Structure 1
Amino acid sequence: MSTNMGSDAVELDAAGSLAELLAGNRRFVNGEVAHPNQDAHRRSGLANGQRPFALIFGCADSRVAAEIIFDRGLGDLFVVRTAGHAVDNAVLGSIEFGVDVLEIPLVIVLGHDSCGAVKATMQAHDSGKMPSGYLRTVVEMLSSSVIGARLQGHGEINEIVADHSVQVAQELPERSSVIGRRVADGRLAIVAMEYALSDGAVQVLSSTISTPKVA
């Protein structure tokens, strides 16, 4: 398994990209990180362009830094983050840039347990009181996922976070014709994951490709 992908490396398809991410997370969990692509040579080699092999759309939580938990380096991942991985037009535009301009073959929707944004949304619905400022906007964007999860009988926060991640993964190609077209013609796969704060492991929740085995 390669841990030193450069701009001149063999391009990975979606399955290969997912395998690379899962292998990196396994190294992170086991305390055997390789810290690939983090030196001066890699930096200078990327000065004129980038070719990331995966796009991570995740929560802005400081404990869930994509390059660290997947043991990757400069130029490997195109990362978009918002509180509770809430989706707005800027997020959709950023993802479209990644998949259509940079031709990234894999999008990961990355949630994590005990998500504060999801918790705030649950509390707002339970109390009937919306938060002030722009946090209200985040709560409004997460409300449909919280309501939908509860209608399915899910009441625990981590059940709702998982449902939310899967829902976002399903909605991306529905809300963006650019993303939808690339999924339909097989050039893009979307995978929902959940990250465990306690042990650092990721779990695949839904995928449009088969989950590869990691040695």
Structure 2
Amino acid sequence: MGVRESVLPAPTTRRGLLRWGALLGGGALLTACGDGDEQVVAPGAVQERPEEITDPDQALELLRQGNARFTAAREQHTAHTVRRRLQVARGQHPFAIVLACADSRVPPELVFDQGLGDLFVVRTAGQVIAPPVLGSIQYGVEHLHVPLLVVLGHEGCGAVGATLEAVETGAASSGTAIDSLVEAIRPAVERARAAADEEHVLAEAVRANVADEVAALSADPLLAEAVRAGRLRVVGATYDLDDGAVLFS
């Protein structure tokens, strides 16, 4: 995949990851809790669900339901109780990893109406993958046994827009670390420019960038093994800033 492959480190050994997990206390930080069905619940009232979710399809359905509540302004996780905080302090069992853009308008816990300990969130501008990002995701899959990985792009992404502008104007390197974002997103932007008209090129570039990241993550040996074993599902999604809806691809 060209540029995007270059940011992925060599496969991490299982032994090395296990040693790292032991040093970090086995990831015992948070647990999962929240809504598990479509029953109408008053805002702030949290329903219990199994402590650990291992089925990728069930995890995806929980995100779909949470986003539906968010778009309808019927959130269940607007309040975070002392009881829940103390509960998750004993250990974590998040049911989804969300690789999301750092944009302040796209907080995954709010977008999916989830609470403390429910999501393992990694955020960078344009949700660009770098070695520490991949390592964090591998940790979530290998040590926290998270069954679902979502790459969440969004409408009007500034990082994608800036890359599009740089490509169209032939802008020189800025000499800053921002250049690494531009180079990572550039392949998606160039494909979008070839496939879409001017009015829709940014939206197409956002979708192409998400697709590239899903492909890169799916090709990682550790994650690919988890997918083959049925322990992990990797999906892409885009968030609409106006109506709050998430469209899964």
Output the amino acid matched with 1:150: R
Deviation at 1:197, TM superposition (A): 0.1
1:110 aligns with 2:110: no
Paired with 1:145 and 1:185, the residues of 2 have a C-alpha distance of 30
1:180 aligns with 2:229: no
The counterpart of 1:193, out of the listed 202, 221, 237, is 237
1:169 aligns with 2:194: no
Deviation at 1:11, TM superposition (A): 2.2
Paired with 1:100 and 1:148, the residues of 2 have a C-alpha distance of 33
RMSD: 1.8
Aligned to 2:98, the other structure's residue is in SS state: strand
The counterpart of 1:76, out of the listed 106, 118, 129, is 118
Deviation at 1:151, TM superposition (A): 3.7
Kept in 1, the 8 Å contact 2:96–2:119? The answer is yes
Kept in 2, the 8 Å contact 1:124–1:131? The answer is no
Output the amino acid matched with 2:232: L
Give the share of equivalent positions with the same residue, in percent: 39
| 2:43 aligned partner | none
| 1:34 aligned partner | 76
Output the amino acid matched with 1:129: A
- With over 3 angstroms needed to count, the CA separation of the structure-2 counterparts of 1:179 and 1:47, relative to structure 1, is same
- With over 3 angstroms needed to count, the CA separation of the structure-2 counterparts of 1:122 and 1:71, relative to structure 1, is same
Deviation at 1:131, TM superposition (A): 5.0
| 2:202 aligned partner | 157
Q: 1:64-103 maps to which residues of 2 (within 5 A)?
A: 64-103=106-145
Paired with 2:74 and 2:242, the residues of 1 have a C-alpha distance of 17
Residues matched between the structures, number: 203
Unaligned runs of 5+ in 2: 1-34, 37-45
1:128 aligns with 2:170: yes
Kept in 2, the 8 Å contact 1:29–1:200? The answer is yes
Output the amino acid matched with 1:165: V
Name which of structure 1's ranges 110-119 and 135-144 shifts more when overlaid on structure 2. 135-144
Output the amino acid matched with 2:121: V
Unaligned runs of 5+ in 1: 206-215
Kept in 2, the 8 Å contact 1:113–1:158? The answer is yes
User: What per-residue deviation string (whole Å, max 9, x for no partner) do you get for residues 145-173 of structure 1?
Assistant: 21233344465101110111122111102
Kept in 1, the 8 Å contact 2:53–2:147? The answer is no
Kept in 2, the 8 Å contact 1:59–1:85? The answer is yes
- With over 3 angstroms needed to count, the CA separation of the structure-2 counterparts of 1:102 and 1:10, relative to structure 1, is closer
Aligned to 1:192, the other structure's residue is in SS state: strand
Kept in 2, the 8 Å contact 1:84–1:111? The answer is yes
